[in-house]
Structure 1
């Protein structure tokens, strides 16, 4: 397979920590699922970003960043000794249309390792062409690699399920996109990279035995509570669990103001992880109709549409599982559970952001009216919630605590009316305690587009300090970090001119 890409011979990396803890993981399903593929080496590889916190969580040696063999492995310049790297095949719906066969076009799986956090798959993104590259070069550029590295860890810091990023390596090798850029490779980490599209692939091709093998693998490896179920009951239960996890994930995205940008079925994780960071964005000024992906000309993946798109994608997964479930009624019941799970999760998230510990009938209207007011004045989403948290805490001993929040609105009388309702709803809740809880719920720091852009500009000039500094701050986004106070400020005007698309 590697000869078709005219690759040079790739040396092996004899890393004891890799070989001693290696597990076949997804590759155990066989060549119908995992196509043996070697990486294409890059010249003059160097470290761009190293995630020390994740290294420790995985139980890798402290000196891994000093190991040349590790640098070679994570760049695709060396193979795991006596192991087969592979690309997986999947299909999917892209922007609502059936796209047919897709696959890991620029992702190469190293396999899985046993860690203190359980079995974790390692995947290189940008290590060269695969059988599924569809005339692409299989590369990733420095710009998009830094964005994914930081975004993965920002989501983890926020407590949102996500794939992780262990490191980024770079090379002076040229990659042509809208302009000539330099190459980079991200090492991604997750218990599994199985997507809705994996199921769609085998179902669409009538490969029912493979479809069943995939579903059984996912259940046994990742949903052990379902192992005792047999036949259609098992696969219906799997669909229900994926639906519940997806509903919870959508509530977390919406609550923090995260826009994915390209919610195709091949970018949806069956584990309910945030997967594939392409044209993502965290909201600056609140706009429910915000489209972060400049390739999304119809606004299919606008912020407010994400929950409904997730539901649509779940129906595609349900359709793919129908050969194993047989009857529509149980499959529909599993999918329909989303209609209760998502609103309940969303309500709970928003109550927590408001410091409310119990449920009242008017809570949803209180939130909806607030968002309407924020939309009207394009109030900065993250700054508002953080200032509100501080105001609630300070209102225990200050009559002017809400002035910094009020200052965010042009129509201050609208905010004043809402705030009166909000304080009545808080009632006798101890303000200090409520504010402290809100400060642990509403982050001070997010990966704003302009911060990522500044880090990228410095990295292109050979300075990777801001990448590492941002990583440390985003790992603890609820803390103060006085040295980096400016990173919690309103976005500058030029931030709105940053365009992000599917190109990377």
Structure 2
């Protein structure tokens, strides 16, 4: 299907998308390619006389079958709503007109229309203005995803986008990149179950900021375009809270759970449709070459008759133990679905190695929160480590510590195994995956289907080992090598992990050392003119005293200094042994470009939430008092996007999206640009946990 020229849609179903938002692709490639919820699709192709399904039906929670998504309209929360922050950096990335990146460049009418779209009120806009145009209609039809998932280790059945609604797809005309804009907190969908579909201000602020913080630290993530305040009253465990909506962006929001729901419903037809779409459209993996598959079959399959499971068992019984020999590995053909799984495994490995290197805890690594693109998504009870604690649990709903910090790589592997189960038949079919009649015959027989799964197992295990375990370890070593100032990827040594990194992390755990401050202060460790650590003990003692909590230093300082030498000696020797690493100033500059000075810790997020809640209250009630926190989100967003504290003061200047220069307070850490949000974690802010509703 071609998407360059869109058909004129029925007026009943168009959602206007005004500037400065980028041009929509209508219809979207996603909705045009995959099966839709039958109820929500009624009338969409029926022309001018179509009768739209009432929102009371579209948004009613219900069981949805045979569908990847449902059309659904966001709830109109535009009355009294206003924009809290706009991410001009991302706006440029997704293709917003360069003359409309700043809020100050918008007309009042453009601002009002944008707020309406971002708060579900787009249908109030005059539709006729957006139907015709040189690039086709400026219209969209929002949708919500249908998926299942394992939650805390147990399959939970249908889940889906309970409070997230995808507005539309946009394509940056300069880069060709496709982006899907989604509203979180936009009201009920068929997948809301017993929830209200809203988002509170505190959770919206946390997601809006953290997505940008994680991306700026070099870890794949969804992104944040805008956050709005609404007058919706939301009731949560904490009581009545102000409502808010985040506009978040990703190339695709497809998750592991999208495959799982079809697998557990034994819906092989739609599972294949989804796998075809993800492999071809999301990963651009070409269809398998028929000649190559035929050649493989001729060489490896027709040489011997296929053996059933019973044949193999019978032969095993007939062979005496001393005669048994290990069978040669069976030749395998990696079709496009195996290649797709390989891509997902690699991307997931890089994502979680990034988490471990920046001290990030996700908090809810259910399979419905795992992106097939290996993006960090669904920011809920997350946390950046304060003191280094491998067993830290940031989600107080996680009573068993399933998603503790040190568990994250293993959980990713477990989640991948659940995704692999859904793809076993397609992967196991190997070169015959497009012989649909043969594949259906295999799946109709439990014995033959088991053979498919056995064939898939060898491929999946190999992918898990090479595309996840090996990729994770390689990427983690490279990231930590850079954090330690030990050079680029070409300078990684295996012994650095065992001689320096692991002992250093263990020492940090023993002495409750701040994970992030450790690396910033280690950058100041000087080696020039000093051959070994024993000759450098004055500096070692100063370093240890600086990074240890004062109570720990007073009680165990001398022991901590002595025990630090277990890894500092190897670290010192490693540096002085390399001409590329010896220069203290150059090494310090390199380390400070990968070790953040500003980290969105939970205490920082909490402080921002408290002050923004007060600011929103003033704006909502028409309070005319001077509000120093009016642009706070813009300022902290900038900090999240520039976390490394570049040394040149000129590089630290910032401006709000209104073009005005931000004012920053001084702080003891000497990083004026970050104001009060850097330095030691205050006592009240240590170990803050959040719940799944955060």
Give the TM-score category using the shorter length. Answer: over 0.9
SS of structure 2 residue aligned to 1:224:
coil
**Aligned pairs for 1:6-85 within 5 A:** 12-16=15-19, 20-23=23-26, 24-28=28-32, 29-31=34-36, 32-42=67-77, 43-61=79-97, 62-63=99-100, 65=103, 66=106, 67-79=111-123, 82-85=139-142
Gaps of 5+ in 2: 1-11, 37-66, 131-138, 294-333, 429-454, 554-559, 616-628, 647-651, 653-671
Distance in 1 separating the partners of 2:88 and 2:190: 33
Q: Offset at 1:378? A: 1.1
Q: CA contact under 8 A between 1:122 and 1:190: conserved in structure 2?
A: yes
**TM superposition shift of 1:11:** 9.5
Structure 2 CA distance for partners of 1:220 and 1:464, relative to 1, 3 Å: farther
SS at match of 2:501: helix
Contact 1:123/1:189, CA 8 A, preserved across alignment: yes
Give the aligned partner of residue 668 of structure 2.
none
> Once superposed, what is the RMSD of the aligned Cα atoms?
2.4
Q: Which residue of 1 aligns with 2:433?
A: none
Judge conservation of contact 2:285–2:336 (CA < 8 Å) in 1: no
Q: Deviations over 1:174-213 (max 9, x none)?
A: 1000111011000010000010101111111122221122
The whole-number CA distance in structure 1 between the counterparts of 2:15 and 2:347 is 38
1:293–1:501: 8 Å Cα contact kept in structure 2?
Answer: yes
Q: Distance in 1 between matches of 2:571 and 2:474?
A: 20
Contact 2:386 2:516 in 1 (8 A): yes
Selected match of 1:98 from 155, 174, 187: 155
Q: Which moved more, 1:147-156 or 1:201-210?
A: 201-210
Q: Measure the CA separation in 1 of the matches of 2:184 and 2:606.
A: 20
Residues 175 and 182 of structure 1 are in contact (CA less than 8 Å); yes or no, is this contact kept in structure 2?
Answer: yes
In 1: Cα distance, 2:574 partner to 2:249 partner: 43
Task: Give the drift of 1:330.
Answer: 1.4
The answer to whether residue 677 in structure 2 is matched with residue 487 in structure 1 is: yes
Please report how far the alpha carbon of residue 16 of structure 1 lies from its aligned counterpart in structure 2 after TM superposition. 4.9
Cα displacement string for residues 374-412 of structure 1 (whole angstroms, at most 9, x for unaligned residues) = 00111001111111123359999x976655531223322
Which residue of the other structure, out of 586, 590, 595, is the alignment partner of 1:442? 595
Match of 2:228 in 1: 169
Contact 2:212 2:224 in 1 (8 A): yes
Does residue 458 of structure 2 align to residue 329 of structure 1?
Answer: yes
Paired residues, number? 495
* Residues 154/361 of structure 1: CA separation in 2 closer, same or farther (3 Å cut): closer
TM-score, normalising length: structure 2 = 0.68
Change (3 A) 1:258 1:395: farther
Partners of 1:229 and 1:239 in 2: how far apart?
18
**Which has the larger Rg?**
2
Question: Separation in 2 of the partners of 1:10 and 1:181?
Answer: 33
Matching residue within 259, 262, 276 for 2:361: 259
Matches within 5 A, 1:54-203: 54-61=90-97, 62-63=99-100, 65=103, 66=106, 67-79=111-123, 82-115=139-172, 116-117=174-175, 118-178=177-237, 179-203=239-263
| Contact 1:10/1:78 (8 A) holds in 2 | no
Alignment partners' CA distance in 1, 2:368 and 2:151: 8
Is the contact between residue 22 and residue 95 of structure 2 (CA under 8 Å) also seen in structure 1? no
CA contact (8 A) 2:14 2:140 kept: no
Q: 1:152 to 1:20 in 2, by over 3 A?
A: closer
**Taking structure 1 as the reference length, what is the TM-score of the superposition?**
0.93
Which deviations, in whole Å up to 9, do the C-alpha atoms of 1:211-232 show, x marking residues without a partner? Answer: 1221121122232245456796
Moved more, 483-492 or 219-228: 219-228
Secondary structure of the residue aligned to 1:391 is coil
Q: Which runs of 4+ in 1 moved over 6 A?
A: 393-396
The answer for the alignment partner of 2:665 in structure 1 is none
Indicate the structure whose relative CO is greater, using CA pairs within 8 Å and at least 6 residues apart: 1
Q: Hey, what's the Cα distance between the residues in 1 that align with 2:212 and 2:13? A: 30
Say if 1:280 and 1:40 are closer, same or farther in 2 by CA, change over 3 A: same
